[in-house]
Amino acid sequence: MGEPGASPTLILLVDDQALVGESVRRMLAREVDLCLHYCPDSRDALRMARELRPALILQDLVMPDIDGLALVKQYRSDPATRETPVVVLSVREDPQTKRDAFAAGANDYLVKLPDAMELIARVRYHSKSFLAHRQRDVAFRALRESQQQLMASNTSLNVLNQKLADATRAKSEFLANMSHEIRTPMNGVLGMAALLADTALDDEQRDCVDTVRTSAEALLGIINDILDFSKIEAGKMDLETGPFDLESCIEDVLEILAPKVAEKGIDLGCIEGSDVPRFIQGDVTRLRQIILNLVGNAVKFTAKGEVCLDVSVEQDSGSNFAAGGSLNLHFAVRDTGIGIPADRLQHLCKPFSQVDRSTTREYGGTGLGLAICHRLAELMGGRLWVESELGLGSTFHFTICAQRCVQDPEPRYSAPALNGRRLLLVEDNATARSWIENRASEWGLICISVAAGGEALSRLLGGERFDALLLDQQLPDIEIRKLLEAFRRLPGLTGVPIVLLSAVRTRGVENDFETLGVRSVAFKPLRRRQLLTALCRALGLEAPERRLASGSEINRGLASVRSLRILVADDSPVNQKVTASMLKRMGFTPKIVGNGAEALAAVRAEEFDLVFLDVQMPVMDGYEASRQICLSLPKARRPWLVALTANALQGDRELCLDAGMDDYVTKPVRPRELEEAICRCVTRLKDSDSKAA
């Protein structure tokens, strides 16, 4: 029986005897799923079979007009009936006839008239297997079709992919060009503004120049963000790796933000776990970028309270660090600012996303910073996440996988002379207090800390003795002058040096408070070295050696090398002026030329120690000039070649170095960067001098 509702199976009977037709009809009459069609005329048989497409043909052998065997052959050669099962019905029983029927293409042979049960069984067997075959063929065809469709869409996907790759390349090229085009005039704007700021200006003029500078810096920040972001998107952000001082990296960031922090009257501090290594391997610039962005945001969105950077080692991550392995560092930037609504938290790291439009109006920004930090943290083997409560503050966390530094780390600043001395610390901010306590214990000081001026006074009145006092300038309970005056009246404090901790970096703060017993001032956010120097100075001890040269030191160092012969090749008159003026201010007298060919000619005619080469110049570009200079002069007589270029994309540095240059400085160039490049050149010159000697 067929399934209810399924269409009946069609059977075609071809027989010229109406009696046979009627008998078969009766035999099948009760099989409701079988539908019999009868064809008495052999001339109509093929046409009917084609139209009906039966699941089985019952074929008489002996017929007028067309013989049954000939018809079977016709079914077999017609595409419409080629596969249709044919069961021959014949009165003849001899094997010869049966063999002929099978040879012509019949599937079965029944002697007329067969038993009804047998007929039905055979009809069902053949028609079912035919229908199953047909179904399988349909499925197979559909499969082949979808395979072909898949192949076709694969091909178009490949074409699309290619187009996308082309578009990405075009976008990168466009960005590189735009970056170059924007950087070049920005060099003029920033350079000139910096030079102008160093001249005598009245307040209004200074204000204008400062606005020009901060606006230009902001614009440059946006350009850098967009460039970084597109580099990350294109998978072209390669991290550098080298040893660096983690503590200095953090202190640098805090120092950059110090003026803003002081202006807002909030506290900014850092707590480092005692197991956090000071030196690690990695990309210091990118790490600084993440910290600066997160701490910068925290400061931006905090009106009162504090911002604190907490650095720790993730548990169980650094077991083999000492043996040359790696560990996971966890940075957490906590603030007491405006906070972020819960429903916005997961969107924050998407590019161009800000909490709401009013954020942009009130605080500015592109909404790219976090997206970049997020990706940078991932590139450094870590992750970034946020916790926040609206109105209470936010904590931005990120981790990085830090490699052990291969070179021997320098010892931390030590100060044996401080050992065992008693220090009274008066500081209301818990973060700053704990940071100072940690440093003090490293230096062997015995540090007693209190959170308020009143508490300090009562300890001193109680007769406690100290070798030095470390005093926050802004205490909640008492005005600093009043406190200092109270101290002066204490006989036990006579001669005890006082170090003031000040958040405001104004010149001459020391002098303001000198008469009140203040011996030295350390500015917040505190740096380890600076605090140590301030303490040593107050106690009349020798301060430890400075580790890294500061800007003023570079200047002092440069005084001995003012005779350095410098050549600048740049085609833009504005940029020539900027570079030349900066160098002149440092005390140099550079020679200026307008393209690579002129630079080459100058270097061949005269001796130079240092050549700054713009990269894109008419006649001969910087790369070619560098190659030619390298070819025409032996290494010992060759000047130190520095690319000075607005090409700031990945790979540009490598191109310059490949062309034979020794160093690379990007535009807009800052005096400090120029100084550092000169310092690297001087170090090299000294090295080769000492080797020659």
Positions touching ligand ADP (CB under 6 A) are 293, 297-298, 301, 335, 337-338, 340, 348, 354-355, 359, 365-370, 394
Cα distance between residue 676 and residue 644, in whole Å:
13
- The distance of closest approach from Cβ of residue 348 to ligand ADP in the complex, given in angstroms and rounded to an integer, is 5
Distances (CA, A) of 74 to 15, 38, 46, 83, 133: 16, 18, 8, 12, 21
CB-nearer residue toward ligand ADP: 337 or 382: 337
- The distance of closest approach from Cβ of residue 272 to ligand ADP in the complex, given in angstroms and rounded to an integer, is 21
CB-nearer residue toward ligand ADP: 299 or 493: 299
Give me 304's structure tokens. Answer: 């009162």
- Other CB atoms within 10 Å distance of the CB of residue 635: 7
CB-nearer residue toward ligand ADP: 287 or 368: 368
- The distance of closest approach from Cβ of residue 364 to ligand ADP in the complex, given in angstroms and rounded to an integer, is 7
Cα distance between residue 53 and residue 361, in whole Å:
76
Cβ distance 311 to 271 under 8 Å?
yes
CB-nearer residue toward ligand ADP: 195 or 226: 226
Cα distance between residue 374 and residue 611, in whole Å:
39
Cβ distance 415 to 532 under 8 Å?
yes
Closest CA to 314 of 302, 329, 293: 329
- The distance of closest approach from Cβ of residue 286 to ligand ADP in the complex, given in angstroms and rounded to an integer, is 15
Give me 404's structure tokens. Answer: 């052990």
Cβ distance 505 to 259 under 8 Å?
yes
CB-nearer residue toward ligand ADP: 21 or 369: 369
Strands 468-472 and 498-502: parallel
Place of tokens 């080769």: 688
What are the beta bridge partners of residue 309? 270, 333
CB-nearer residue toward ligand ADP: 188 or 365: 365
CB-nearer residue toward ligand ADP: 366 or 473: 366
Cβ distance 247 to 279 under 8 Å?
no
Place of tokens 């818990």: 430
CB-nearer residue toward ligand ADP: 340 or 597: 340
CB-nearer residue toward ligand ADP: 367 or 557: 367
CB-nearer residue toward ligand ADP: 394 or 576: 394
Question: Which helix or strand (DSSP H or E) is residue 484 part of?
Answer: helix 480-488
| Chain centroid offset of residue 575 CA | 32
CB-nearer residue toward ligand ADP: 338 or 659: 338
Distances (CA, A) of 318 to 270, 277, 372, 402: 21, 10, 27, 9
- The distance of closest approach from Cβ of residue 265 to ligand ADP in the complex, given in angstroms and rounded to an integer, is 17
- The distance of closest approach from Cβ of residue 395 to ligand ADP in the complex, given in angstroms and rounded to an integer, is 9
- The distance of closest approach from Cβ of residue 379 to ligand ADP in the complex, given in angstroms and rounded to an integer, is 17
Cα distance between residue 628 and residue 660, in whole Å:
9
Cβ distance 477 to 484 under 8 Å?
no
Distances (CA, A) of 610 to 30, 197, 305, 637, 642: 109, 27, 49, 11, 8
- The distance of closest approach from Cβ of residue 606 to ligand ADP in the complex, given in angstroms and rounded to an integer, is 48
CB-nearer residue toward ligand ADP: 228 or 472: 228
Cα distance between residue 155 and residue 161, in whole Å:
10
Distances (CA, A) of 39 to 31, 91, 126, 463: 20, 18, 20, 130
- The distance of closest approach from Cβ of residue 261 to ligand ADP in the complex, given in angstroms and rounded to an integer, is 14
CB-nearer residue toward ligand ADP: 176 or 368: 368
- The distance of closest approach from Cβ of residue 337 to ligand ADP in the complex, given in angstroms and rounded to an integer, is 5
- The distance of closest approach from Cβ of residue 191 to ligand ADP in the complex, given in angstroms and rounded to an integer, is 25
Give me 593's structure tokens. Answer: 């030329």
- The distance of closest approach from Cβ of residue 298 to ligand ADP in the complex, given in angstroms and rounded to an integer, is 4
Give me 455's structure tokens. Answer: 């508490």
- Residue nearest ligand ADP, CB atom distance: 365
In 606-670, which residue ranges form alpha helices assigned H by DSSP?
622-632, 652-658
- The distance of closest approach from Cβ of residue 207 to ligand ADP in the complex, given in angstroms and rounded to an integer, is 25
- The distance of closest approach from Cβ of residue 352 to ligand ADP in the complex, given in angstroms and rounded to an integer, is 8
CB-nearer residue toward ligand ADP: 140 or 363: 363
Give me 178's structure tokens. Answer: 């735009």
Cβ distance 126 to 109 under 8 Å?
no
CB-nearer residue toward ligand ADP: 347 or 482: 347
Closest CA to 570 of 614, 629, 537, 633: 614
Name the DSSP class of 465. -
- The distance of closest approach from Cβ of residue 475 to ligand ADP in the complex, given in angstroms and rounded to an integer, is 27
Angle at 47 between CA 43 and CA 52, to 5 degrees: 135
Is the Cα torsion angle 114, 118, 120, 124 positive or negative in sign? negative
Cα distance between residue 60 and residue 564, in whole Å:
116
The residues, ordered by sequence, that sit 6+ positions from 597 with a Cβ below 8 Å of its Cβ are 619, 620, 625
